[in-house]
């Protein structure tokens, strides 16, 4: 479920530098949970990540030159499709193009698993993430009403819709100039 792939798109390769991707392990979950709580107002619990590992979802961490975890993704394979459940880059590592490295890896894993379609949900208020997905090649499909917990301007609990975005894996491979890595 967690085969290593080597993204080759020039912008992702440039951003990668000394960063490496490897399968997420239970031992990573403290570091992952620290990033998760730093970047999300409504973070996944450590248990959500542990369940994803138990379910053998695709889950990888991005490590920096010191080997510290600075990003990750979790994606759930389905029948001819892949659902990106979570993707994050640590605050101090953001803005370097590392999301492209993570997204390219998800795209290549989707191809390797025979997925034709890649999809995700995102908060419409997360304009930064929506823009990154649009630039990457995702397009909006629909909205899921009241999908996410949220707080209103007065700090009262409310709900926020999810924007569902999707892309054909073949389109992303072509758009990003990605090829499956040869066997090591």
Per DSSP bridges, beta strands 139-151 and 69-78 are unpaired
CA 93 to chain centre: 15
**Three-state SS at 19:** coil
CB 170: neighbour CB atoms within 10 A? 13
Among 6, 8, 46, 97, binds ligand COA (CB under 6 A): 97
Query: Minimum distance between the CB of residue 183 and ligand COA, rounded to whole angstroms?
Result: 28
From 21-29, 60-68, 129-137, 154-162, give the range in contact with ligand COA by CB under 6 A: 129-137
| Strand spans (E) along the chain | 20-23, 58-63, 69-78, 81-89, 117-122, 139-151, 157-168
- Phi, psi of 149, deg, nearest 5: -70, 150
From 17-25, 41-49, 59-67, 121-129, give the range in contact with ligand COA by CB under 6 A: 121-129
Is residue 139 annotated as a catalytic residue, yes or no? no
From 74-82, 86-94, 105-113, 141-149, give the range in contact with ligand COA by CB under 6 A: 86-94
Which of 57, 121, 148, 160 does the annotation list as catalytic? 121
Q: Where on the chain is the footprint of ligand COA (CB under 6 A)?
A: 11, 14-15, 39-40, 87-89, 94-100, 122, 126, 128-129, 131-132
């Amino acid at each position: 479920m967690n085969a290593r792939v080597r993204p080759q798109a020039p912008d992702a390769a440039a951003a990668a530098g000394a960063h490496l991707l490897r399968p997420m392990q239970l031992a990573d979950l403290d570091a992952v949970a620290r990033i998760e709580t730093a970047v999300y107002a409504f973070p996944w619990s450590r248990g959500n990540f542990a369940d994803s590992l138990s379910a053998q979802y695709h889950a990888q961490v991005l490590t920096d030159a010191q080997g510290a975890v600075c990003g990750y993704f979790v994606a759930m394979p389905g029948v001819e499709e892949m659902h990106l459940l979570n993707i994050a880059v640590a605050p101090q590592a953001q803005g370097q193009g590392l999301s492209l490295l993570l997204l390219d890896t998800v795209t290549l894993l989707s191809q390797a698993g025979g997925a034709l379609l890649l999809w995700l949900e995102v908060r419409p208020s997360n304009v930064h993430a929506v823009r990154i997905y649009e630039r990457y090649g995702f397009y909006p499909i629909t909205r899921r009403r009241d999908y996410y917990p949220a707080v209103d301007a007065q700090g009262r609990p409310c709900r926020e819709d999810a924007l569902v975005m999707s892309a054909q894996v073949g389109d992303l491979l072509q758009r990003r100039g990605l090829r499956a890595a040869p066997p090591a």
